[in-house]
A and B are shown apart, each in its own frame.
Chain A
Amino acid sequence: MEQNLQYFLIPFLSWEMMMLIWVGVFAGIWVGAIPGLSVTMAASLLISFTFSWDLNSALALICGVFVGGVYGGSITAILLNIPGAPAAIATGIEGYPLAQRGEAGKAIGLCTTVSVFASFVGIIVLSVAAPVIANFSLKFSPRDFFLLAVMGILLIGSIGGGDPIKGITAGAIGVLLSMVGMDPSTGELRYTFGNIYLMAGISFVTAMIGLFGVSEALTQFRNAGNKSPKQNLDRIIPDWATFLKYLPLSIRSSLLGVFIGALPGTGGDVAALLAYDQAKRTVRHPSRPFGTGAYEGIVAPETANKGAIGGAFIPMLTLGIPGDAVTAIIIGALYIHGLKPGPMLMIETPHLFWMIVSCLSIASVALMVLGLVSVKPFAKIIEIPKEIIMPVVIILSVIGTYAIQNSVVDIFYMIGFGIIGYFLRLYGYATGPMVLGLILGPMLDANYRRAMQGAENQLLPFIQGFVTNPISLFLTLSIVFLVVSQTSFYRRWRGLE
């Protein structure tokens, strides 16, 4: 125990590590805020810098970037309705209406505070329950991941933005588009029409930048003449009463985030969407109705995607399985530095585990300071006239899209998705479900087919699996509950209507 504490204190006693964490958080916030320039990309760029560094310094920088990057994605979602990353889609649904009301400062302030809280929840769970959660997450079968994706698809009702049937239409189009490319299990080409550019499929980040960024810019030009709202920046840091009011929701959503983040292959994006949906169903008296700027709709996804940071490290450090894309890159870094992540890592190199916990803790404190300091300059962005800001946003979207795989074709896709998104919005089809379909489509398809193959292509054993396996049964019942809780009968009974 004493030795673990010593390991934990190493970054606190090293000025170099401390500085690198702060630099990482600062860089992460600004990189994460730009659509397309994801935290994954920032981490992978930094990895190349750190090959020649010693491991401690490399880890310090990467942990800082990870924490800052996940937070940065929410800033543009709140200010411009353009999520910096898929994990911030849900934040934009409530954050943007708040910015339109002149409450961007308050929204970002709350977002920062609860983010730091959730980061600590994730870190605490990581340090006390990592092996237990890691072993439990390994028990998830393809059928369970399929059920998890089905739960995700049910969120269309939450983020559909109005007409549920139009939301389902957009979601189904997203799923269909996610099928484009080479089928990963058989190698068969689907909807490629002989075009080599389509073989790799459609990147959901490209689609997201187009559907949110470019279509938002076009919609703004359509409403030319509307003045940008003046932002109230008097009170940015939420008071204790506000923090305590959202505390139960923050704890619930953070824990959900930790758990979802710990599942290999899922990450902050799925966690944030599930938490937003859960908040929408369970919060009885939101500050405003959901969809119009409810603070609860910012607290839930933000705490979930920050909780997922700690969660993502759990399978990585205990089993050598990445929880998400960034931890996959960190595994690469550990290998480069001669370490083998897996069950022996915590036994052979316990200092590494406690140092990561420590770096994440310092990064969370840095996030609190740097996040709150950045609120005013960030909030001022929204006051810039849209004739000036929107052309710059389009250029940023172009940089972000090109950076994904250095392809001009992706820019064409992005603008194409922007035009599609503009027309969809005009007729009341929300763009969120389409991105959700693009994200969850491959997860649905791959896990359904694996589960079906596991049942030897027999329908009855496949269905039986939903009730005979305890995890599948729990998830199936959760889905049934999610469906039932959308009915007006249930909402009246719970006093939600």
Chain B
Amino acid sequence: MEKTREFSAEAAAGETAGTIKDLSKYVPEARRKPGELGMAAITFLLGALGYYFALDMTSGEYSSPSVFPKLASTLIMACSAFNFYKALRKEKREASVTLTGYLLPMDVVVVLVLLVAYCFILPRLHFVASSYAFMVIGMVYLQRGKNIIRALLISAVSLAVLVAVFRYLFLVILP
């Protein structure tokens, strides 16, 4: 019992620092997260679409190709409905937290934009140039514009090591 209390305090401290969350026991959160109802609705919709498209598959026998898609879709819909109901019963979310602020803080938005841009320039500029640009821009932004020379150097060295190891040592084909 003493151990459990000790641990709880440790876990709580970790949580404050934003590092460790105690997942050993499920404790439902009292307040609804922004967009939680929407998330449950989206997963329900996914299940419904899964079932709808499974109707086109061969069926009629217990061993038909449509059996598992239908089962999985039904399970998704049932669980999503339950998740929606549970979210509905929670207290309303804090008014100060907006949906976009919760889902997409600026750092995440920038990295996502960089990732999508990287995907599109990768086939055109190929691996070395596009990866170098991604790493430099990412590092410079995340360090808030400081240490630009360091970011340029670290990116160059990391990339040189990656290319040497994968392309020339392991003979892995790079994009």
Contact = CB atoms under 8 A, between A and B. Distances in A.
A2 interface: no
Contacts of B131: 395, 398
Centre residue among A162, A164, A176, A428 by max chain B CB count within 10 A: A176
A22 interface: no
B119 A423 contact: no
B87 to A, nearest CB: 9
Interface residue tally of chain A, by bracket?
Answer: 35 or more
Contacts of A450: 63
B72 interface: yes
A444 B72 CA distance: 11
A168 B11 CA distance: 26
Contact of A388 (B47, B154, B162, B175): B154
A175 B108 contact: no
A188 B65 contact: yes
Nearest to A412: B119
B108 A452 contact: no
Contact of A444 (B68, B115, B118, B143): B68
A186 B60 CA distance: 14
Contact of A406 (B47, B123, B173): B173
Interface stretch (A109-117, A221-229, A261-269, A351-359): A221-229
A175 B131 CA distance: 33
22 contacts: A163-B26, A165-B83, A169-B83, A176-B47, A176-B69, A179-B68, A186-B65, A190-B65, A218-B111, A221-B142, A224-B107, A289-B24, A386-B142, A391-B135, A399-B172, A408-B175, A427-B35, A428-B29, A441-B68, A448-B67, A450-B63, A452-B62
Interface of B: 7, 11, 14, 17-20, 22-26, 28-29, 33, 35-36, 39, 43, 46-47, 50, 53-54, 57-58, 61-63, 65, 67-69, 72-73, 75-76, 79-80, 82-83, 86, 102-103, 105, 107-108, 111-112, 115-116, 118-119, 122-123, 131, 134-135, 138-139, 142-143, 151, 154-155, 158-159, 162, 165-166, 170-175
Closest 10 CB pairs of A and B: A289-B24, A291-B23, A387-B142, A391-B138, A452-B63, A169-B79, A172-B75, A176-B72, A449-B63, A175-B72
Given A223-B18, A408-B122, 10 more contacts: A165-B82, A190-B69, A289-B7, A289-B24, A291-B23, A392-B135, A395-B135, A395-B159, A427-B39, A449-B65
